[in-house]
Amino acid sequence: MFKSYHKLVSMVTIVALASVSAMATSDVSRTYANGKKVIDGGMTYPVKNGKTSSYYVNTQKAYKNIRFGRVATANEIKAWDMDIMPDGTGLPDGKGSVEEGDEIYEAKCSACHFDFGAGGSGYPALQQGNAYEMQKTLKLQRLHPDDDGPKRNIGSYWPYASTLFWYIKTGMPHPAPMSLTDDEVYALVAYILSINEIQIDGEDLEDEFILSKENFSKIVMPNKDGFIPKIEGKNGLENIRNFYDKPKNFGGNKKRCMKNCFDGKPKVARIQGVGISDYNPPISEKKEKPAKKEVAGIKNVAKDTYESSCAVCHGTDAMGAPVFGDKKAWATVLKKGLDKVYENGIHGINGMPPKGGTLLEDAAFKSVVDYIISQSK
């Protein structure tokens, strides 16, 4: 398993995609021009008779008139070109306390990740208790219905805190990435480490603890040594090549194969004893559609629904959506008529998913739209 920090995300993807096609290929076809094997020993397909392997090459000129934007300026590239490495290389100057991080989290993160990073509504949990205890669960397997599975989150699974700094700085908060100052990011990292109960130099991270560039390297994540092969350092790529060149490291077979992979007849392990029979309430065998639910208390939930599901995009102009409370923006939207606004919201438009990604019935969703409009006049 790879060490999962940002520098190798694309490389991990390449390995995953290439490994299947690689299994049935020869060593010769699994090399680049310089003689180096691709990361997993996979192969590249040459174009022959208009095909790559069994697939035709698309030669149409359909994209020649499509504009994909403009070339980024040097300053724009500089602003986004950021790597924070495990040894601290790339960390900016700055500092922030756990207490400050708590305040920033409540203001800018809790709408999605909920109180204390508990997660919910499709957004991941940032902690599930003491990280050192949760790290022990990573070896668990759910072999029986009531077995506990592994608990993977920032504290228990991520090998380096540098990933946390980099990800928050460049990607969070979701509606406005790169909007946080370096001090705010240090504070948020300190807070998230604290709710995972991670210690630094044996010290619990209390409210007054200040994280900075100077002490960041002292952070040792519980699962730092839980990944193979070793990818950092000057020999990282060669370590990966060597690891994936030996199929027994990840599959148990002595050679890559797509057929006849086993000596003799393989055993098939069948899942038994995991069925659920005592459903409560009992499973209905009726085939008719369920009765339409009556929408009750729509007006009472519109505000809460907006805050939990809509504010992430409509609370700022960074997402291109009309901003809550912006009279001019909503006056422009309403020129097409309220019915059209309802229709676009229910079916989705541009970057907005149908009903904003909620499961509301039409009437309840319309009430949320009405609430937003009423607060934007």
- Whether residue 90 is contained in a domain is answered as yes
Res 227: pLDDT: 87
pLDDT attached to residue 232: 79
For residue 246, tell me if it sits in a domain.
Answer: no
319 in a structural domain: yes
* Contacts of 323-330 spanning 24+ positions with Cβ under 8 A: 324/372, 324/375, 324/376, 325/375, 325/376, 326/376, 327/376, 327/377, 329/376, 330/372, 330/373, 330/376, 330/377
Q: Is the predicted pLDDT of residue 8 greater than 90, yes or no? A: no
pLDDT of res. 217: 92
- 8 in a structural domain: no
Domain's final residue, options 189, 216, 243: 216
Query: How many angstroms separate the CA atoms of 154 and 102, rounded?
Result: 17
Residue with tokens 């422009």: 332
Residue 264 falls inside a structural domain: no
pLDDT tier at 210, thresholds 50, 70, 90: very high
Q: What is the largest CA-CA distance in the chain?
A: 75
Residue 319 — very low, low, confident or very high, per pLDDT cuts 50/70/90? low
Q: Cβ distance 146 to 184 under 8 Å?
A: no
Answer whether residue 271 is part of any domain.
no
% of the chain exceeding 90 in pLDDT: 25
Model confidence at 226: pLDDT above 50? yes
| Distance between CA atoms of residues 150 and 143, nearest Å | 12
Dihedral (CA of 155, 161, 164, 165) sign: positive
* Structural domain ending residue among the three candidates 197, 216, 235: 216
Residue 312 in domain:
yes
Cα distance between residue 252 and residue 250, in whole Å: 6
Question: Is residue 34 exposed (0-12), middle (13-18) or buried (19+ Cβ within 10 Å)?
Answer: exposed
User: Of 161, 184, 216, which residue is a domain's last?
Assistant: 216
pLDDT of residue 26: 41
Bigger pLDDT: 92 or 4?
92
Give domain status of residue 41, yes or no. no
Q: Which residue range forms the structural domain that includes residue 308?
A: 298-374
User: Residue 201 has which token pair?
Assistant: 């130099």
Higher pLDDT, 345 or 291: 345
In this structure, what CATH number is given to the domain that contains residue 86? 1.10.760.10
For the stretch 228-259, pLDDT in tens is 888 877 888 888 888 877 777 776 666 667 67
Do 207 and 313 fall within a single domain? no
Q: What's residue 331's pLDDT?
A: 87
The model's pLDDT over 82-124, given as tens digits with 9 standing for 90+, comes to: 889 888 899 999 999 999 999 999 999 988 898 899 887 678 8
What distance lies between CA 340 and its chain's CA centroid? 33
Are 190 and 94 within one domain? yes
Number of domains in the chain: 2
Q: Which single residue is written with the structure tokens 């604290």?
A: 194
Average pLDDT over residues 316-337: 82
Q: Lowest mean pLDDT: which of 41-50, 88-97, 227-236, 343-352? A: 41-50
CA distance 301 to 364: 8
Chain CA centroid to CA 245, Å? 29
Cβ-contact 180, 168 below 8 angstroms: yes
